[in-house]
């Protein structure tokens, strides 16, 4: 799994090459997709909040944020995303039943291989960052 993550660009290029040269090897594609960690592998409760973009630039990244509603760092994170004008979705994990929350945290840990701390950012379903690190986020998102 780490190998795929570390060589993600290589695999993207490989798939890109196969598509452009019209010789797609679907078995390879499926293997890679099966190994790549993704937010889709996590069952997210329905209390998601969607925030609309406030700028009219094209946004290529899909942004999801797990937060705690009372957390100062999470509030900073939401304000930072708002200031950038990004469209994003978030889930305040402390506002869902504790059993669901524990299940969710366990799934995040299993899928992304890290014990999450909050805010926990996921970009394009596969890239993640644990904690509030706007310098890193800027690179991840742009």
Partner 1 sequence: MNKQKSYEDVKEYVTRISIRNGWKLNSDKEQLDDLITGLQANFNRLGYYNCPCRDSQEDHQLDRDIICPCRYAEQDIKDYGYCYCTLYQQLDFDISRPLRMIPERRP
Interacting residues toward partner 1 by CB under 8 A: 68-76, 93-94, 98, 101-102, 105, 117-118, 131-133
HSE-up (13 A, CA, CB side) for residue 87: 11
Give min distance, CB of 67 to partner 1, in A: 10
Measured from the CB atom, is 25 or 139 closer to partner 1? 139
Give the residues across from 49 on adjacent strands: 90
**85, 53 contact by CB (below 8 A):** yes
Give min distance, CB of 136 to partner 1, in A: 11
Of 95, 59, 91, nearest to 78 (Cα)? 91
Measured from the CB atom, is 11 or 65 closer to partner 1? 65
Measured from the CB atom, is 11 or 120 closer to partner 1? 120
**123, 63 contact by CB (below 8 A):** yes
Give min distance, CB of 116 to partner 1, in A: 9
């Amino acid at each position: 799994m780490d190998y795929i993550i570390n060589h993600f660009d290589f695999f993207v290029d490989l798939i890109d090459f196969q598509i452009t040269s019209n010789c797609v090897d679907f078995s390879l594609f499926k293997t890679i997709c099966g190994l790549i960690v993704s937010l889709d592998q996590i069952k997210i409760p329905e209390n998601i909040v969607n925030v609309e973009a406030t700028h009219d630039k094209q946004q290529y990244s899909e942004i999801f944020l797990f937060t705690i509603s009372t957390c100062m760092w999470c509030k900073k994170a939401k304000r930072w995303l708002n200031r950038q004008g990004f469209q994003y979705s978030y889930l305040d994990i402390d506002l869902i039943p504790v059993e669901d929350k524990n299940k969710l945290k366990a799934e995040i840990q299993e899928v992304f291989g890290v014990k999450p701390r909050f805010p926990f950012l996921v970009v394009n379903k596969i890239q993640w960052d644990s904690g509030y690190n706007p310098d890193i986020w800027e690179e991840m998102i742009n």
